[in-house]
Amino acid sequence: MTISQLLAQRVEAALAAAGAVGAPAVIQASSKPEFGDFQANGVMGAAKAAKTNPRELAAKVVAALDLAGIADKVEIAGPGFINIHLAPAFLAQRLEAARNDEALGINKPAPQKVMVEYSSPNLAKEMHVGHLRSTIIGDAIARVLSFAGHDVQRCNHVGDWGTQFGMLVAYLVETRQSGDADLELADLENFYRKSKVRFDEDAAFADTARNYVVKLQGGDPEVLALWKQFVEVSMHHCQAVYDKLGVGLDLAAVRGESAYNDDLPVVVSDLKAAGLLEESQGAQVVFLPEFKNPEGEPQAMIIQKKDGGYLYATTDLAAIRYRHRTLDLKRVVYVVDARQSLHFQQLFTLSRKAGFAPADMALEHVAFGTMMGEDGKPFKTRSGDTVKLVELLDEAVERAYALVSSKNPDLAEDTRRSIAQAVGIGAVKYADLSKNRTSDYIFNWDTMLAFEGNTAPYLQYSYTRVASVFRKVGDYNAAAEIVITEPAEKQLALQLAQFDEIIASVSDTCQPHQLCGYLFNLAQQFSRFYEACPILSSEGAVRDSRLAIAALTARTMKAGLSLLGIAVLEEM
Ligand code: ARG
């Protein structure tokens, strides 16, 4: 149980004893140490419901409250807040439990079968910054959910199907004939652009392209083989980005849109059987009264076009159906751009109605905002092109290398290179993860690479500071008891003891910025502790205890950063 849960349980028992049966405790971490470590703010609500005086009810609750061995002071403040000061010995016990546990003492909930669907680029083109956000955020969420004990499947729902592929295959055949296909494929964005020009300019080419689409859908082995070659090249481009980023995606995680091709007619017949499908202007559609169009009428969701073609949404319906029937997942998390919100709302609503997703299978659109340039417009190159992700990541590493070299010119070249790798990639990831994901954010090299503030370099550097203690320590008793006496020690312990709360919360909300905020606070608390409580120059049991606290801090920082996909260094 987390400290908040434990306190909630005790305060709720006291509320019940004071006559407010079933009233929630409303536990919050206090904003300042003067207000205790935690506050129970439920009395006001309970008093209002029972039409009694909140201060009087608070007094009754405190009288009935049993926090023996947990808190050493409980006070009533303001209109009826209950401020709880935790006992240092209680915190010490929590740290002992974390220290002796590989998972740092977190609570493992009942494991769930969860899918995190992320990255999911369209293979017709080069990956762009929107996919960078999905890839970074999705990977952090997958890591946190696995750490929390869930059975996590990572899925890369790549866009590898549809009419564009007819055009691309036609262009592939053409460039093959002229002999420079490999060269052309090295730049997918260009490849796409040129094939589109051919498609728009040359009617014969366009006919061939359309003919390929038909053959592709009909399963023609020759055209399928060509399509496969194109998809492989494109996947290879993506994999280069994944490898540079160090995210846990590989070919095994790929299940693209093409995988559902055979299920699409089944989706249509299932919807028909469920009485949901109607014909409208030759197309097969579902009307969803939950969503209104601008005229105030139920919104139509097209399932199959007049010409027999299927849509993005049809594939997503097939995927949900598969994720329930075949994979038996209990939760599916879609890490996709916020601009697709309406699509997901409609998709989820229809999947429930059609029985593709039962009520006990959670479907969540984990939306994120747009990555902006300095000019406040969506991030592009100076000439207005989409930014190649591989180049962006290389630039991050180069910039970090220059920074590290100017800060620490005496380090060996190799060392500076590996620091630059960790810092550069870490900075790009952290800049993204530390923002509330639903808002847009401005991509800025200088802020993300700063050694001060809520940044990856600051946290990585803080970790090396803790690690440096252990390089100088010499002999000590690594199993010594933790004893908390000083205020700075208590604040650090309090922060350490809330790691489990953060993991539980991020697992729930899929908001990695909470973990970033936690780690930033932890680094700051450590820094205060380090100044107020000398470690190496103290002696005996005090020294051993402080070393134990420092060791737990290092482990927690490292674990936390690695859940964000960020590497730590022992020295930098
Ligand atoms: N391929 C899509 C795109 O690039 C994202 C796919 C998101 N996932 C999904 N199940 N629809 O916009």
Alpha carbon distance 138, 432 (integer Å): 11
Tell me what percent of the residues of the chain surpass a pLDDT of 90: 88
From the CA of 508, how far away is ligand 1's center (Å)?
22
230 C-alpha vs ligand 1 centroid, how far in Å? 19
CA 334 to centroid of ligand 1, rounded, Å? 9
Whether residue 120 has its Cβ less than 6 Å from ligand 1:
yes
CA 98 to chain centre: 24
Arithmetic mean of pLDDT, 284-297: 92
Confidence of residue 180 (pLDDT cuts 50, 70, 90): confident
Cα(429) to ligand 1 centroid in Å equals 21
Work out the pLDDT band at 129, boundaries 50, 70, 90. Answer: confident
Q: Tell me if 157 CB under 6 Å of ligand 1.
A: yes
Provide the b/e sequence for 250-270 (b: ≥16 CB within 10 Å): eeebbbbbbbbbebbeebbeb
Cα(157) to centroid of ligand 1, in Å? 7
Outline where 473-539 has alpha helix (H). 487-496, 499-509, 512-532
Q: Residue 393 pLDDT more than 80?
A: yes
pLDDT, position 381: 78
Backbone phi, psi, residue 83, to 5°: -95, 130
Q: Which residues is 372 bridged to in the sheet?
A: 378, 442
pLDDT at residue 422 is higher than 90? yes
* Residue 11, H or E segment: helix 3-17
In CATH terms, 3-86 corresponds, of 3.60.21.10, 3.30.1360.70, 3.20.20.150, 3.10.450.50, to 3.30.1360.70
Neighbours of 428 (CB within 10 A): 27
Q: Is the pLDDT reported for residue 273 higher than 90?
A: yes
Q: Decide: 192 in ligand 1 pocket, CB within 6 A.
A: no
Cβ of 121 closer than 6 Å to ligand 1, yes or no, is yes
Under 8 Å between Cβ of 441 and 132? no
Q: What is the largest CA-CA distance in the chain?
A: 88
Separation of alpha carbons 92 and 115, rounded Å:
37
Instruction: Kindly state the helix (H) or strand (E) to which residue 372 belongs, with its residue range.
Output: strand 371-372
pLDDT reading at 400 higher than 90: yes
Q: What angle do CA 322, 504, 141 make, to 5 degrees?
A: 50
Q: Which of 336, 346, 348, 366 to mutate to test the pocket of ligand 1 (most atoms within 8 A of CB)?
A: 336
Statement: residue 546 has pLDDT above 90 = yes
**Top mutation candidate among 127, 238, 340 for ligand 1, by most atoms within 8 Å of CB:** 340
Q: How many Å apart are CA 547 and CA 543, to the nearest integer?
A: 6
CA 370–ligand 1 middle distance (angstroms) = 15
End-to-end CA distance of the chain: 37
- Ligand 1 pocket test: pick from 125, 157, 255, 329 the residue with the most ligand atoms within 8 Å of its Cβ: 157
- Say what the pLDDT of residue 507 is: 97
Ligand 1 centroid–CA 124 distance in Å is 13
Confidence (pLDDT) at 110: 94
Q: How far is residue 367's CA from residue 468's CA, in Å, rounded to a whole number? A: 39
Whether residue 128 has pLDDT greater than 90: no
Ligand 1 pocket, residue 198 CB under 6 Å:
no
pLDDT tens profile 208-229: 999 999 999 889 999 999 999 9
Kindly give the distance from the C-alpha atom of residue 255 to the centroid of ligand 1, in angstroms, as a whole number. 12
- Tokens representing 384 are 């207005």
Q: What is the pLDDT of residue 158?
A: 98
Confidence of residue 183 (pLDDT cuts 50, 70, 90): confident
The domain locations on the chain are: 3-86, 164-250
Residue nearest to atom 11 of ligand 1 (CA): 316
Instruction: Kindly indicate the confidence band of residue 376, based on its pLDDT and cuts at 50, 70 and 90.
Output: confident
C-alpha 115/C-alpha 334 separation (Å) is 8
Task: Indicate if ligand 1 lies below 6 Å from the C-beta of 346.
Answer: no
Residue 404, Ramachandran bin (φ over 0: left; ψ between -120 and 50: alpha; else beta): alpha
Of 120-129, 268-277, 336-345, 488-497, minimum mean pLDDT range: 120-129
* Residue 162 alpha carbon to ligand 1 centre in Å: 13
Cα of 133 vs centre of ligand 1, distance in Å, is: 13
Atom of ligand 1 nearest to the CA of 337: 12
Assign 382 a pLDDT band (cuts: 50, 70, 90).
confident
**Residues 240-266: tens digit of each pLDDT:** 999 999 999 999 999 999 999 999 999
Give per-residue pLDDT as tens, 332-355: 999 999 999 999 999 999 999 999
DSSP for 62-113? HHH---TTTEEEEEEETTTEEEEEEPHHHHHHHHHHHHT-TTTT-------E
Ligand 1 binding pocket includes 525 (Cβ within 6 Å): no
pLDDT at 293: 86
Say which residues have a Cβ less than 8 Å from residue 534's Cβ, sequence separation at least 6: 546
**CA nearest neighbour of 231 among 125, 335, 313, 319:** 125
Q: Count Cβ atoms below 10 Å from residue 21 Cβ, excluding itself.
A: 11
- pLDDT number for residue 186: 87
**Would you tell me how many other CB atoms lie within 10 Å of the CB of residue 53?**
12
Q: Is the CB of 455 under 6 A from ligand 1?
A: no
Q: What is the mean pLDDT of residues 359-377?
A: 94
Axis crossing angle, helix 221-245 with helix 164-178, rounded to the nearest 10: 90
Give, in degrees to the nearest 5, the angle at Cα 355 between 353 and 360: 100
For residue 253, what pLDDT is reported?
A: 97
Atom of ligand 1 nearest to the CA of 158: 1
C-alpha distances in angstroms, 546 versus 471, 488, 492, 514, 568? 15, 11, 11, 27, 22
Total Cβ atoms within 10 A of residue 474: 7
- 315 CB within 6 A, ligand 1: no
Mean pLDDT confidence for 519-547: 96
Cα of 344 vs centre of ligand 1, distance in Å, is 10
334 lines ligand 1 (CB under 6 A): yes
C-alpha 529/C-alpha 490 separation (Å) is 9
How does residue 174 score in pLDDT terms, banded at 50, 70 and 90?
very high
Per-residue pLDDT band at 33 (split at 50, 70, 90): confident
pLDDT per position as a tens digit, 56-95: 999 999 999 999 999 999 999 999 999 999 999 999 999 9
- CB-based contacts of 398-405 (< 8 A; 24+ apart in sequence): 398/424, 399/424, 399/445, 399/449, 400/424, 400/427, 400/449, 400/457, 403/449, 403/457, 404/572
Rounded to an integer, the average pLDDT of 479-492 is 96
pLDDT band at 179 (very low <50, low <70, confident <90, very high): confident
d(CA 374, ligand 1 centre) in Å: 26
Q: Is the pTM of the predicted complex or chain greater than 0.90?
A: yes
If one counts every other C-beta atom within 10 angstroms of the C-beta of residue 515, the result is: 23
